[in-house]
Amino acid sequence: MIKFEYFEEKDFDLLINWINSPELLVKWAGTDFNYPLDEEQLKEYIKDTNKENSSKIIYKVIIEENNSEKIIGHIALNNIDFKNCSATLSKVLVGDPQMRGQGLGPKIIKKLLKKAFEDLGLHRIELGVFAFNKSAIKSYKKIGFIKEGEKR
């Protein structure tokens, strides 16, 4: 079972270890961070998040199997606009190398979309992805996201 808990300072080391190359950092976060990822950047990232009516919610992704839990990834909703019921999906990562390639990305995203629509009352979720991030694009299409435009 997949579940979400708020991403906190105690989770920084795991994320820093997962983001082990400049290429992976760009795939995960675009230009939001500098390589190498560090605690100072992450402290700024989580500032003013995960609060009631916050415009950003950041989660660690946990898999629950055989009565044990393992943190396997990361996901966020940014630009949450409760007035217009919309948000931006971002920072999707199956970080644990042993868990990659098992189709977990789409499952994690679907679960977050369900939470966004049902629990937060949102009606629209958008995202941005670099054209070179083929695995992410494949996951997004599989879930039902459609391409609305291209930034140049």
Is the pLDDT at 152 greater than 90, yes or no? no
- 3-state secondary structure (DSSP) of residue 6: strand
pTM score, whole prediction: 0.95
- Give whole-number Cα distances, 132 to 4, 24, 27, 138, 152, in Å: 28, 12, 8, 11, 14
Domain 2-143: CATH superfamily, name plus number: Gcn5-related N-acetyltransferase (GNAT) (3.40.630.30)
Residues 98-115 have pLDDT tens digits of 999 999 999 999 999 999
Residues 55-87 have pLDDT tens digits of 999 999 999 989 999 999 999 999 999 999 999
For 40, counting Cβ atoms within 10 Å of its Cβ (0-12 exposed, 13-18 middle, 19+ buried), the class is exposed
pLDDT of res. 98: 94
Residues 125-149 have pLDDT tens digits of 999 999 999 989 988 998 999 999 9
d(CA 50, CA 14): 19
